[in-house]
Amino acid sequence: MKESEEKSSALQIEDFIIIWLDATINNDHHVLFKRQFSLDISSNCIHTFVDQYECVEYIRRNENEHIFLVVSGSLGENIVPLVHNLSQICKIYIFCADKARHALWSKAFIKVHGVFINESSLMTYLKSDIKIYANATVPISIGYVNERSLQDINEEQVNFLWFQLLIGVIYRLPQTLGAKSEMIEECRENYVDNPFQLRMIDEFYEKYTADSAIHWYTKDCFLYRLLNSAFRTQNIDIIFNYHYFLTDLFKQLTALHQDQFGDKTGKLKVYRGQYLKLQELEKLKNNIGHLVSINTFLSTSTQCCVAAEFSGNGEHQSKGIESVIFEIDIDHAVQRRPFARIDKFSANKDENEILIAMGSVFRIEEVELFTDYIWSIKLVLSSEVKEEVENLFSYFTQHIGKQPSILELGVLLSKIGDFERAKRFYQRLLVELPSDDIDLGVLYNNLGEIYRQQGYLNEAMEYYKKAIQEFTETVGFRDEWFAVVHSNMAMIFEARGEFERAITYYRCALLIIQHIDSDDAELFSTVYHGMATSFQKQGKLMAALHFYQKALKVENQVLPTAHPSIATTYTNIGQLHFTMKNMAPAFDCMHKALTILLDVLPKNHPQLAITYGCIGGMYFSLGQDLEAIDHCLKAEATIDQSTLASDHKIREDIYLSVCALANRNKWNDISIRINHKIVELFNARTPPDLYWVAFYGNNLGKMYFDKGNRDLAVKYHNLALDSIQQLPRTEINKRLYASIVDAFQYIGYFDISREHFTLLLQEEIDGKSSFAANLHNKLGVLYDSKRQDLLAIQHYTAALQCYMNWPDTHRNEIAITRHNIAVIQRDLGDYEQACLHLRESLSILSEDEYDLRSQFCSALAETYTKIENWACAREYFQQAIMLATQAKCSTNSVIATYKTKLENVISMMDNITIGNSIQRQT
């Protein structure tokens, strides 16, 4: 089984790099280590260069990085103008021996933060700027309730729910010595090359106690940096590694909160000054009135003047870093996340410091300029905010059904399709939870569901069996979860094609929920849907319809009229009616589904595209192509606006439907547009699906050539050729390869065609195969077109010898090849052999091959005219006309040509008759 997993590994603690460019740079390990030590950073953050061109190329290539550039004076004059305006450059430092000279030219560049002749001074400034930058990101997420389906919540809302749920999980995990050791190991791994921080880690391991959590968190050391990096990356494994410490920190802050504010009323106003990246500021400005979750512990002050000192007064605006002051109003009566004065416990003995717990939620009240350089951001925590947070979680739980609270994060990740993180979350819980935890059965079931949805059916079944065993040992057989697992196992059997076993398990699930008198309508509906699907796949359509209708009845009783689940059921019923040829109810159900989805889903939702596509496919099957293309184009437009991956299977299905319709109706402009999208889709796969890139790229080449655009035709034929050459020479790949080479011959690239047909022939292991015959034939046609008669006959003859190994299955190929040889022999004057081949061709073809027989008769008649056998020529032209009249693909112009030639033959015969008569008279 192949799967990508989120592994616990060293964090990228700093999201910046330092580039040091100096032609005379000292790369001595001791010097580099000293610089790393001075800056207190990891060694992989420093990159040294002696060549300015390599340095510029590296900077330009790393456009998503945040770069601090240290450069010598002489090289700086050259490189600074080249890179100064690149967005990845944060600050530039000139390190030189002539400060006056280089200060002069560098004044023109605002990102140059100074000219230094002393390395110690340089390091001081650089370290300060790095610290400012590192603190310019506050992990936040936005939350609000305005969507109608969990699958439609945006990324910000997902992050909001994700973090809130994660906090609940962290504080429920047991604190063991093993958990502490695991955390220490994680810390050491991240600072393996930093002796100073390693000593701090050792000190923490030896001296840390629960009541010193605040002290260690506020200390400028490894812990604060690692925690913020973990929350920034949202790596579940790494965050879990710190739950031992985070629980202590939360407990200590909670105890302080109770002592200081537990019985107080009124409000508390606190401030926090800092630098903030412009994109973070924009996020807050665009969400005024919404909720914001602060996804880290937040240090604040009761004094605005203290916060102002930390805001920077606009000094770093040039790099998109703004100065901000958070003004936060907190209602004492709202008990959601703790906050407290930490002066007595903090490593920094600043007065009036208030620490706010991670995951605290506020409403964004206002974001505006306080001065010309400082932004004011007003946040509020009130009872209304608490109520909105509770409503958001109520909304969430309604959509995920009944779940133990500790598992809700995994369900959220699964619902949004983030299966890998959900899997890692559950697997980590298996390690952390005690073996007798009451939620283990549901955890096993949920893991099974992830594996099932990913297509790993055997692994899924193993987890379902573990769930059954766990439920049997804990809650017994009379439990809804026991029914859920049976229903899920039924889906496995259904996916394997074991429909009878699937139905048996669905019936077991149904008996359980009926026996315990469950009111879980969703579970009833799930089981009914499963039974309907199994019956449908068995061809028992009436039974399937019966259970779909039972599911619809349950859904109509408990769900709103316009609900996505009801739309799904209507879709299933509609497709079933279509299969049963009940067209009116089929289209009625499909349009009901579409009406619901248009009402409840955003206009770019994939389910809308699928429904449009299904209706389009139904019209396509009925030959109603105008209705079909109308719905398929709507499906295309919807899926193009969706957030699905560029290579998603749903996109593929919709694009291919549009393509089939356009091809059938010769809607060339649509064909070209959709073929472009198909090529891009298959190219976006990892790895690219090169067969289909070649196939549809070749189609594009043909379409562009037919439109007269030779350049684009060559471009896409080349794309097809490059793609197919990278694939192994299977039968299907070889045939597509030959078809692409054919296309090059069609547009006049004979040398390329000859080269690749010859290559394919050389690679063909069986020199007498039908594919070898086809290649010989293609080469024969190519040489024939270039009037290289002997080479053409050589390849035609070789093709004929191959085809003769299967005379019954290659009649037409044999006949056509003999015809081609005959035409060349006729042109060379070998009329006897030409006639022999043509008569043999006619004897091979079946009587109903009217078109080919008419062409061969015409060719034979032409040959007889060469030897002035006018009677035979007349006979075969007459046959050619009769056969062409019967052939569906012959045109009037072809028949007219045959008639003209026949008239010429008859005229010749009349002239000969008249001449003979005159000769006898004389």
Domain spans of the chain?
Answer: 17-134, 153-396, 858-922
- Check: CB of residue 593 under 8 Å from CB of residue 611: yes
Question: Phi first, then psi: what are they for 331, rounded to 5°?
Answer: -80, 120
Nearest to 489 by CA among 454, 507, 465: 465
Higher local confidence (pLDDT), 349 or 142: 349
> 427-441, 489-503, 533-547, 694-708: which range is least confident on average?
427-441
- Check: CB of residue 160 under 8 Å from CB of residue 69: no
pLDDT beyond 80 at 315? no
Given pLDDT bands bounded at 50, 70 and 90, which one contains residue 151? very low
Q: What is the pLDDT of residues 497-529, one digit of tens each?
A: 999 999 999 999 999 888 877 667 778 888 999
Please tell me the predicted confidence (pLDDT) of residue 149: 40
Element holding 104 (H helix, E strand)? helix 99-106
pLDDT beyond 60 at 213? yes
Please tell me the predicted confidence (pLDDT) of residue 794: 95
Strands 291-294 and 267-277, bridge-based pairing: unpaired
Average pLDDT across the chain, whole number: 86
Query: Angle, to 10 degrees, between the axis of helix 155-170 and the axis of helix 243-261?
Result: 90
Task: Supply 468's token pair.
Answer: 């059954």
Q: What is the pLDDT of residues 592-609, one digit of tens each?
A: 999 998 887 778 888 899
Q: What is the pLDDT of residues 384-411, one digit of tens each?
A: 767 766 766 665 555 555 555 667 777 7
Unique residue bearing structure tokens 């009240």: 365
Nearest to 162 by CA among 143, 137, 146: 143
Those residues whose C-beta lies under 8 Å from the C-beta of residue 473, and which sit 6 or more positions away, are: none
pLDDT beyond 60 at 715? yes
Task: Supply 513's token pair.
Answer: 């929920």
Q: What is the DSSP string of 474-528?
A: TT-SSSHHHHHHHHHHHHHHHHTT-HHHHHHHHHHHHHHHHHTT---HHHHHHHH
Nearest to 525 by CA among 469, 474, 563: 563
Please tell me the predicted confidence (pLDDT) of residue 10: 46
Give the N- to C-terminal CA distance of the chain in Å, as an integer.
99
pLDDT beyond 90 at 548? yes
User: What's the average model confidence in pLDDT over 154-163?
Assistant: 62
3-state helix, strand, coil in the chain (%, to 5): 65, 10, 25
Nearest to 768 by CA among 740, 730, 805, 718: 805
The residues with which 89 forms a beta bridge, in sequence order, are: 67
Tell me the C-alpha distance between 864 and 868, whole Å: 6
Tell me the C-alpha distance between 360 and 340, whole Å: 13
CA dist 187 → 4, 225, 239, 327 (Å): 24, 10, 12, 34
Please tell me the predicted confidence (pLDDT) of residue 114: 92
CA 463 to chain centre: 27
Those residues whose C-beta lies under 8 Å from the C-beta of residue 188, and which sit 6 or more positions away, are: 198, 201
Please tell me the predicted confidence (pLDDT) of residue 922: 59
Please tell me the predicted confidence (pLDDT) of residue 376: 95
Those residues whose C-beta lies under 8 Å from the C-beta of residue 811, and which sit 6 or more positions away, are: 844, 845, 846
Q: What is the pLDDT of residues 66-124, one digit of tens each?
A: 899 999 998 999 999 999 988 788 889 999 999 999 999 999 998 898 999 988 888 88
CA 254 to chain centre: 42
- Check: CB of residue 197 under 8 Å from CB of residue 191: yes
- Check: CB of residue 291 under 8 Å from CB of residue 361: yes
Given pLDDT bands bounded at 50, 70 and 90, which one contains residue 585? very high
DSSP type of residue 301: E
Tell me the C-alpha distance between 383 and 211, whole Å: 31
Question: Phi first, then psi: what are they for 69, rounded to 5°?
Answer: -105, 120
- Candidate CATH numbers 2.40.50.100, 1.20.1260.10, 1.10.510.10, 3.90.176.10; the one for domain 153-396: 3.90.176.10
Please tell me the predicted confidence (pLDDT) of residue 638: 93
Classify domain 17-134 at the CATH topology level.
Rossmann fold (3.40.50)
pLDDT beyond 80 at 677? yes
Task: Supply 667's token pair.
Answer: 């809607």
Those residues whose C-beta lies under 8 Å from the C-beta of residue 141, and which sit 6 or more positions away, are: 156, 157, 159, 160, 162, 163, 292, 293, 295
Q: What is the pLDDT of residues 265-305, one digit of tens each?
A: 889 999 998 888 888 889 899 889 888 888 888 889 999 88
Unique residue bearing structure tokens 């209706």: 615
Those residues whose C-beta lies under 8 Å from the C-beta of residue 616, and which sit 6 or more positions away, are: 627, 628, 629, 630, 631, 632, 634, 635, 657, 661
Exposed (0-12), middle (13-18) or buried (19+): which is 269, by Cβ within 10 Å?
A: exposed
- Check: CB of residue 527 under 8 Å from CB of residue 509: yes
Please tell me the predicted confidence (pLDDT) of residue 11: 46
pLDDT beyond 50 at 6? no
Please tell me the predicted confidence (pLDDT) of residue 625: 95
DSSP type of residue 210: G
Percent of the chain scored above 90 by pLDDT? Answer: 52
The set of long-range contacts for 158-161, using a CB threshold of 8 Å and a minimum separation of 24, is 158/412, 158/416, 159/234, 159/295, 160/291, 160/293, 160/392, 161/392, 161/393, 161/396, 161/412
CA dist 267 → 270, 297, 383, 481, 498 (Å): 10, 20, 12, 45, 64
pLDDT beyond 60 at 1? no
Q: How many CB atoms lie within 10 A of CB 893?
A: 8
